[in-house]
Chain A
Amino acid sequence: MQLNVNGSTHEVDVEPDTPLLWVIREEIGLTGTKFGCGIAQCGACTVLVDGQPTRSCVTPAEGLEGAKITTIETVEDDPVGKKVVEAWVDQQVPQCGYCQSGQVMAATALLTQTPNPSDADIDAAMTNLCRCGTYNKLRAAIRSASEG
């Protein structure tokens, strides 16, 4: 099947139900997107599919032909994504960093759709888990990116 990832078309030969996560990591070779739980609980695998934050560990590759898939590797090509990354650096958000690719993607989707989110908007959109507990820094970074 053909998948459009980060603006390039990739011909991949996988079983149709292979999760998008493993297509991205193993077939296309982009390892910034992480495997955490495999059941859409933690969000470490979050990518954008046509701009929507998507938990790629439970999203089959089949049906994604024609969709525009964006991963952390090109998030800074997007003006909102770039602003989010700068806010992440300014606020020193990451600790171990393992969940942060997914967090940055979720925040980019949120701020693209809702440039000035309320606390309730942030609560609804930012549901990815972080075992280091960077949640307060995450929120501060989203706030500063939305103002910047």
Chain B
Amino acid sequence: MKDLTPDPNRPLNVSRRGFLAGTGALVLSVSLPTRNARAQGEAAPVDAYLALNTDGTATLQSPFIEGGQGVFSALAQIVGEELDLEPSQIAVECAPPGDAYKTIDGARFTGGSLSIRSSYTLMRTLGASARTMLVQAAADAWGVEAGEVTTEPGTILHEASGRQAGFGDFAEAAMDMPVPTGVSLRDPVEFRWIRQPLPRYDVRSKSTGQAEYSIDVQIDGLLNAAVRHAPRLGLTPSSVENLDEVEAMRGVHSVHMLDGAVAVVADKFWQARRAVESAKIAWEAGDSNYPMPADFSSTEFRDVLRAEAGPGVEVEAEGDAPQALENAETVIEAEYDAPFLVHGQLEPPSTTARFNKDGTLDLWLPNQAPEMFQGAAAGAAGIPAENIRIHSQLLGGFFGRHFLYADASPFPQAIQLARATGRPVKVLWTREEEFLRDANRPMAVARFRGAVDANGPAALAIEAVGEAPIGRWYGASPGQDGSAHEGLSGKPYAIGNRRVGHVFVQNPAMIGFWRSVGHSMNDFFYESFLDELAEAAGRDPFEMRHDLLEGSNRHRTLLETVADLSGGWQGTAFDAEGGERRARGVAMASPFGSETATIAEVSLDGGAVRVHQVWVAIDPGQIVNPAVIEAQVQSAVALGVSQTLVEELVYDDGEPQARNFDLYPILRPDQMPEVHVRIVESGATMGGVGEPGLPGVAPAIVNAVANLTGQRVRSLPLSKYDFG
């Protein structure tokens, strides 16, 4: 039985186009229906994708960026499965900008937990096509029917004659083969590597300090720059009072007034930093598309959000929630909020820029979208995009940090300084400068009105108040911006009368995508209020959820799975070993095409909450690497616990009050709970893996806290409260 999959992106043989001339390798590309291609008619496909080398190895150009999520390893697993080559024999590199890599509806980015699920069929088709061409080349050379030729990993075989050859022996001959159409893909029951917990390829280099990130880029003649940013966007330097002193400091090459920042260029970064820290800078009003008001306060902004009247643009509705609420005997209301957050990736942003004699520009930088950065860099440099080479570096964490946001990346500064000095320049932001220019997870408020009867919720009206990143950066209008209401909408529960509205309020801060985006707070709001409804109805929150999932076996299975994983649902507080009082909470989420059910166990340590254990059942539909999924859930849970317990970025007088991890704590190792993961492969359409583990964590913890203390928390983080 073969899984005959049509080729949505039929590979093309570009070996003979002169691309990678002289390598003698089979090189496949694809012609994707990109936005550019549609605009220009037939685009010339010249981008390499999969190269089969004469030494028997293969090289894959990845459309996606590796930042710890394991995507390079997973791609090698998928391609290797169909090519019949050990994944360890496939080197994966981040592809340069190119239309062939715009695999997500004509766009290219690493985010939305989309990498594997958006490219799974494409990668399988590439591997299967290359294998078919190798087989045909061998069959022709041996004078036998292709149907009699088989493969074993890395080897081509003709059993009847006993002939065999390595893939590399036919890499050149396969160059002349036409690309097969309708190539058949391997039956999943025959998978050798897909679904296996293969090790990731880069773990040793990351355990020995050999892995290189943007901050480590070294090129000849490099100067280093440090900057001081204006305390808020909309200010720009008017003068450096002690300019002579700064210029005279050791190692200093030059001092530059940039848009919204002062930069010192020096031989070494530490010299540049020391000098720029000593600069006495006067700031004045400047130009910015996103000026930060001088009196902006996050506390006051929360009041602004709370005061904005609903019901907002309707984004989801069933039945007649307003009428049902009007007629109901028992109606409860609640208002929830979540704070601004920073990404806190441990590698501070940097960019190295080099102008070349031929007028081209090389940029080494962290990014989640090479073509978007290339386009923005073209604007900053005033040269055509095709004259800019983007070298996408391994990311020292990202979590949404390295999308293209206004004023949030060092590359315009690096470009300006490289041009001004006539030398290659690396700009590195200190953690303090990063806190001033990160694009924050936006603060938001959600208002709920719910009606209950003896069974549970009969009606639910929700208003999501605030601005979200898809609207800010991709022009989605209120009602069209899923990042504002995902996790309030799209829930699986059978509540007959419901309405979700988005009440748009512009956010003066720079906002961005943060791991699991709207879900990072909306599922906290929703699943916490669902427990409030259960309490009002006199129901156990687990049992009530189970009833509300009557129409979905997939969700019920997941809820039952997490209960089983945790040793059976415990709905009341209990004494743990040693007499400590503990309680559990439960939550569900439907993020990024996957489904999760989460249970958390908490106790009080003095007046603070301690999270002991988190159990997650995750159903991504279909899987590639269970070890990567487990690692991603561990990671997402850590970030979820962190934002629940300790994270909050406070603005006063237009400035973030924290500029480093001393005043903005992130989860410490001794605060990490044990995490237990069970993967349910339901066979549904493949979902995402990187983000889905996060959204259920906050509500599971907060519901557990309510169960333990009787206190319902509606505003994060928990460190604001004393439960003693």
* A residues in contact (CB < 8 Å) with B: 14-15, 18-19, 22, 26-27, 29-39, 41-42, 44, 71-73, 75-76, 85, 88-89, 92-101, 104, 123, 126-139
- Additional A-B contacts beyond A15-B274, A100-B206 (6; CB < 8 A): A22-B268, A34-B213, A35-B428, A132-B638, A133-B635, A137-B634
Q: Are B345 and A75 touching (Cβ within 8 A)?
A: no
CB distance from A143 to the nearest CB of B (A): 13
Q: Are A123 and B670 touching (Cβ within 8 A)?
A: yes
CB distance from B65 to the nearest CB of A (A): 11
Q: Are B669 and A135 touching (Cβ within 8 A)?
A: yes
User: Which of these binds chain A: B228-236, B393-401, B520-528?
Assistant: B393-401
| B250 on interface, CB distance cutoff 8 Å | yes
- B322-356 CB contacts (< 8 Å) to partner A: 344-348
Q: Are A36 and B669 touching (Cβ within 8 A)?
A: no
Whole-angstrom distance between the alpha carbons of A41 and B659 in the complex? 12
Whole-angstrom distance between the alpha carbons of A99 and B642 in the complex? 17
Q: Which residues of B contact A96 (CB under 8 A)?
A: 67-68, 206, 345-347, 394-398
| B600 on interface, CB distance cutoff 8 Å | no
Q: Are A22 and B669 touching (Cβ within 8 A)?
A: no
Whole-angstrom distance between the alpha carbons of A133 and B431 in the complex? 19
Q: Which residues of A contact B635 (CB under 8 A)?
A: 95, 132-134
Whole-angstrom distance between the alpha carbons of A105 and B430 in the complex? 23
Whole-angstrom distance between the alpha carbons of A30 and B69 in the complex? 26
Q: Are B666 and A39 touching (Cβ within 8 A)?
A: no
Q: Which residues of B contact A88 (CB under 8 A)?
A: 203, 207
CB distance from A148 to the nearest CB of B (A): 15
Given contacts A41-B660, A41-B661, A98-B347, contact A133 B211 (CB under 8 A): no
Whole-angstrom distance between the alpha carbons of A136 and B631 in the complex? 10
Whole-angstrom distance between the alpha carbons of A128 and B216 in the complex? 21
Q: Are A73 and B638 touching (Cβ within 8 A)?
A: no
Q: Which residues of A contact B638 (CB under 8 A)?
A: 130, 132-135
In-complex Cβ contact of A97 among B206, B270, B636, B642 (8 A): B206
Q: Which residues of A contact B431 (CB under 8 A)?
A: 36-39
Q: Which residues of A contact B216 (CB under 8 A)?
A: 31
Whole-angstrom distance between the alpha carbons of A37 and B204 in the complex? 24
7 nearest CB pairs, A to B = A133-B638, A32-B209, A97-B206, A96-B68, A98-B396, A72-B209, A95-B68
Q: Which residues of B contact A99 (CB under 8 A)?
A: 346
CB distance from B400 to the nearest CB of A (A): 12
Max count, chain B CB within 10 A of own CB: residue among A76, A95, A134: A95
Q: Which residues of A contact B636 (CB under 8 A)?
A: 133
Whole-angstrom distance between the alpha carbons of A101 and B395 in the complex? 15
Q: Are B203 and A93 touching (Cβ within 8 A)?
A: yes
Q: Which residues of B contact A18 (CB under 8 A)?
A: 270
- B607-653 CB contacts (< 8 Å) to partner A: 627, 631, 634-639, 642
- B199-217 CB contacts (< 8 Å) to partner A: 199-200, 202-213, 215-216
Q: Are A85 and B207 touching (Cβ within 8 A)?
A: yes
A to B CB contacts below 8 Å, 30 in the list: A22-B268, A27-B268, A31-B216, A31-B218, A34-B346, A38-B431, A39-B660, A44-B346, A89-B203, A93-B207, A94-B68, A94-B206, A94-B207, A96-B67, A96-B398, A97-B202, A97-B207, A97-B396, A98-B347, A123-B669, A128-B669, A129-B346, A130-B669, A132-B68, A133-B639, A133-B672, A134-B631, A135-B667, A135-B669, A137-B631
CB distance from A140 to the nearest CB of B (A): 11
Q: Which residues of B contact A97 (CB under 8 A)?
A: 68, 202, 205-207, 211, 394, 396
In-complex Cβ contact of B346 among A22, A73, A98 (8 A): A98
- B655-712 CB contacts (< 8 Å) to partner A: 660-662, 666-670, 672, 674-675
CB distance from A57 to the nearest CB of B (A): 10
- Who on chain B is nearest to A19 by CB? B270
CB distance from B620 to the nearest CB of A (A): 18
Q: Which residues of A contact B268 (CB under 8 A)?
A: 22, 26-27
Whole-angstrom distance between the alpha carbons of A139 and B675 in the complex? 13
Given contacts A38-B431, A129-B668, A133-B639, contact A73 B209 (CB under 8 A): yes
- Who on chain B is nearest to A139 by CB? B669
| B403 on interface, CB distance cutoff 8 Å | no
| B542 on interface, CB distance cutoff 8 Å | no
In-complex Cβ contact of B634 among A19, A38, A131, A134 (8 A): A134
Q: Are A36 and B68 touching (Cβ within 8 A)?
A: no
- B411-441 CB contacts (< 8 Å) to partner A: 428, 430-432
| B513 on interface, CB distance cutoff 8 Å | no
| B269 on interface, CB distance cutoff 8 Å | yes
CB distance from B287 to the nearest CB of A (A): 30
